[in-house]
Copies of this chain bind each other. A is one copy, B any other.
Amino acid sequence: MELGVIAAELADAARRLHQRGFMLATSGNLSAVVSREPLRLAISSSGKDKGSLKPEDFLVVNEHGQTAGAGKPSDELPLHLELADKAKAGAVVHTHSIWGTLLSDRHATDGGLTIQGFEMLKALSGVKTHEHREWIPIIENSQDYGVLRAQVKKTLAAHPASHGILLAGHGLYSWGKDVSEAVRHAEGLEFLLEVKGRKEQAEGR
């Protein structure tokens, strides 16, 4: 697909996720694969306000994370490259929500959390029933993106069926074959995290 079309889709997704409170301030970032061979990724520039991202706020990087022109890609680029490569993601959405922050903090020591029994699970690609048991791995947060990338790689290898990864006290990475599927996964998982968070609260946990 053309870069302009993809960047417009990504900008639109950012506006929508910001409006829902999942990308407040400059938090969150998004990317999509422009070509596979050679790998070219469009990713949001670093430090931009996600409520007013424009198509020109996306940069194209190669498989080494290098840009052709000016501008600085999001610091979390290495994680996007890893997901584009190992999870075969066509698009990656990284959200920071209230419930994602709370639950990833609370369950960090368990290494992940399970969601089961809710119809919204069917928003996840390949899931055919609410009885599905989704494991969302939680990685310890770090400011060393090399360390995080290695953790994401290990996590993907250990849990190839997962649709998202949480960084503790930080937020959710979700992905899909294209922007539309990645956004669907982000909205579905964030909904499920809020349901789980409120259910735990009602149960006094």
Which of A's residues lie within 8 Å of B, judged by CB?
A: 16, 20-21, 24-27, 49, 51, 96, 98, 101-102, 105-106, 117-120, 123, 128-130, 141, 143, 167, 169-171, 180, 183-185, 187-188, 190-191, 194-195, 198-202, 205
Contact = CB atoms under 8 A, between A and B. Distances in A.
Contacts of A128: 143
B118 A24 contact: no
Interface of A is mostly: helix
Choose among A20, A128, A205 the residue with the greatest number of B CB atoms under 10 Å from its CB: A20
Given A130-B143, A130-B169, A143-B129, A27 B199 contact: no
B98 A119 contact: no
23 contacts: A16-B51, A24-B120, A24-B123, A24-B188, A24-B190, A25-B185, A26-B123, A26-B184, A27-B119, A49-B183, A49-B184, A96-B191, A98-B194, A101-B118, A101-B119, A102-B195, A102-B198, A102-B199, A117-B169, A119-B167, A119-B169, A119-B170, A129-B143
Nearest to A203: B106
Nearest to A12: B52
